[in-house]
Structure 1
Amino acid sequence: MALDELLDEHEQGEKVRGWLKDNALGLIGGLVLGLALIGGGKWWTQRAHQERVATGETYDRMVEAVDAGDLDKAKTEAAALAGTKYAALAALDLAKAQLEADDRDAAIATLRGATSEDPGLAAVIRQRLARLLVDAGQGEDALKLLDGVDDPSSIETRGDARYALGRMDEARKDYQEALRKLDAAAPQRQLLELKLTQTGGTPETTGTQS
């Protein structure tokens, strides 16, 4: 090999060693940071899994307390689920148990504090609370809760609130609207038609398919 080629290789080697020397701390720091990010990601995933398991166990304890009739414990466990995806389900379960224990006011309070980002669950909470409010003679509060609803069950409940308040014409319109939106084969259609009749309305012979 020619002398000038050996010198070039030597110079290149010196440059590489010099660059490594000057950047050693940065390389080590980058390696440490990369390992930390990998480890941190695993830790976060494991922690999230553990939290999901713990939340599920809390919900199970709440259900067991409801089944055992220990509503005080059930209420405590339900409160521990606040802010989780189980919160709405826990509130519905607890409110049902409270109502079965003839504590309507407690059931109303439970549902008033319940929220859900899921539209379906939110609608169920709203309907059940509204029905309890109507039963408790708080029809106006129920109407506020049902303002702007567009599903058949909620519209029917709004009609119930207006019926309880003696506003027959408005109740009749609600029942008619609910029937128009309800499937002709829906099992609750017969009761809804009876409510319409009680307000002076006449059910149509056939329903509109949804």
Structure 2
Amino acid sequence: MALDDILDEHEQSERVQDWLRRNGAGLVGGVLLGLAAIGGWQWWERDQDARQSAAADRYQAVVNGIEAGEAAAAGQVAALEPGTFQVLAALQLAAAQVEAGESEAAVTTLRGIRSDNPALQDVVARRLARLLIDAGEPTQALELLGTADSPAALEIRGDAQLALGKAELAREAYTQALAGMDVASPQRGILELKLTDAGGSVDRTEAQS
């Protein structure tokens, strides 16, 4: 190897060592910070998983209590952390109350549900609207449904209008519901019967298209 080559390698080595002396601390610090960030993120993920698992366990315990007909079920639902699990448990409780003939309690349960999830809000509104119609409060049911236009909501709107004696508006709602409903839906036959009972007729051509 030529002397010039050896000197060049030595010079490069000196430059690397000098750079490390000047920047080594910052480099090590950056690596340590990166490792700490990765470790912190992994800890956060494990903590979130543990929290979700614990919340799911509490939810299942409450559901088991509801299914067993425990008197303390309502209090257990209220004690759950606000969020999806609490909403689902409350819906389960309301369904059990309806099945037990406790419609007023079910109305109270549904009125107390709070959720930022639009899909869950719609489910709560529809179930509560049905109970209000059964309780002789169709006007409140219509107010609760607002401008919801899903087939399920339109069907309930038709039920409310029919309860108010407004058969024409009921037929309109049922027809709109049928138009937006899948032809294979098991609910379609019931909805067609409702439309017929309200004085309407089913468009079989549309139903088969």
**Are the structure 2 counterparts of residues 79 and 114 from structure 1 closer, same or farther at C-alpha, using a change threshold of 3 Å?**
farther
Within 1, Cα distance between the matches of 2:167 and 2:81? 41
- Counterpart residue identity of residue 156, structure 2: T
Checking the alignment, whether the CA contact within 8 Å between 1:175 and 1:195 is kept in structure 2 is: yes
Count of aligned residue pairs for this structure pair: 208
Match of 2:67 in 1: 67
Q: How do 1:171-186 residues align onto structure 2 when only pairs under 5 Å count?
A: 171-183=170-182, 186=185
For 1:56-84, what per-residue CA distance to the aligned partner results, in whole angstroms no more than 9, with x for missing partners? 10111111110121253354245514223
Within 2, Cα distance between the matches of 1:93 and 1:80? 13
- Following superposition, the deviation at residue 207 of structure 1 comes to 5.6
- Counterpart residue identity of residue 33, structure 2: L
Within 2, Cα distance between the matches of 1:97 and 1:179? 29
Within 1, Cα distance between the matches of 2:203 and 2:4? 104
For 1:110-168, what per-residue CA distance to the aligned partner results, in whole angstroms no more than 9, with x for missing partners? 3232436364x554333211101212222222112223333332211101111222222
Q: How do 1:155-166 residues align onto structure 2 when only pairs under 5 Å count?
A: 155-166=154-165
- Counterpart residue identity of residue 153, structure 1: A
Checking the alignment, whether the CA contact within 8 Å between 1:59 and 1:81 is kept in structure 2 is: no
Match of 1:34 in 2: 34
Match of 1:149 in 2: 148
TM-score by length of 1: 0.80
Checking the alignment, whether the CA contact within 8 Å between 1:179 and 1:207 is kept in structure 2 is: no
* Structure 1 unpaired stretches of 5+: none
Checking the alignment, whether the CA contact within 8 Å between 2:77 and 2:90 is kept in structure 1 is: no
Within 2, Cα distance between the matches of 1:192 and 1:5? 91
Q: SS at 2:39's partner residue?
A: helix
Within 2, Cα distance between the matches of 1:2 and 1:201? 103
- Counterpart residue identity of residue 110, structure 1: T
TM-score by length of 2: 0.80
Within 2, Cα distance between the matches of 1:185 and 1:6? 84
Q: Is 1:18 equivalent to 2:28 in the alignment?
A: no
- Following superposition, the deviation at residue 204 of structure 1 comes to 4.5
- Following superposition, the deviation at residue 104 of structure 1 comes to 2.2
Q: How do 1:31-180 residues align onto structure 2 when only pairs under 5 Å count?
A: 31-77=31-77, 79-84=79-84, 86-112=85-111, 113-115=113-115, 117=117, 119=119, 121-180=120-179
Q: What root-mean-square deviation, in Å, do the aligned CA atoms of Structure 1 and Structure 2 show?
A: 2.9
- Counterpart residue identity of residue 199, structure 1: A
Checking the alignment, whether the CA contact within 8 Å between 1:71 and 1:94 is kept in structure 2 is: no
Within 1, Cα distance between the matches of 2:204 and 2:24? 86
- Following superposition, the deviation at residue 47 of structure 1 comes to 1.3
- Following superposition, the deviation at residue 89 of structure 1 comes to 2.4
**Are the structure 2 counterparts of residues 79 and 154 from structure 1 closer, same or farther at C-alpha, using a change threshold of 3 Å?**
farther
- Counterpart residue identity of residue 161, structure 2: R
